Structure 1
Amino acid sequence: MHVVVILFLVLIVGSLASALVFLLRDQGKGRRTVHALALRVALSIALFVLLMAGLASGLITQRLGS
């Protein structure tokens, strides 16, 4: 489960970086920036749902105090 969460975080950061590159190259005239940011939002929502499902099913446990 840890690997999946880290993979999602890498994909989210990669999508954000590609949106920045598209913004700089297209100078706000293309739609690639919007698509990259929409993908980032979709990945973030999917990660949130995955984490909540993991907590509900017991795959992820909470540690109280370290």
Structure 2
Amino acid sequence: MRRGDTMFTSYLTVKQFSELFGVSKSLVYRLVKSGDVQAIRLGSKNYRISPNEVQFVEGRKVLP
């Protein structure tokens, strides 16, 4: 998965999202908690980020 690939068909894990954008998982968790990145919570600690959100984040200046 490369950053330029925007044709995702399934939700990304926090790890996949962090690898895609080259940031730490802890930063992704902070962005989710602050509302800067929208995610679906599964269980007590698992999140999934939609393909649409990935495209939206690519177009915004959310990440350093």
Bigger radius of gyration, 1 or 2?
A: 1
TM-score band, normalised by shorter chain: under 0.3
- Give 1 or 2: higher strand fraction: 2
More helix by share: 1
TM-score under structure 1 length normalisation: 0.27
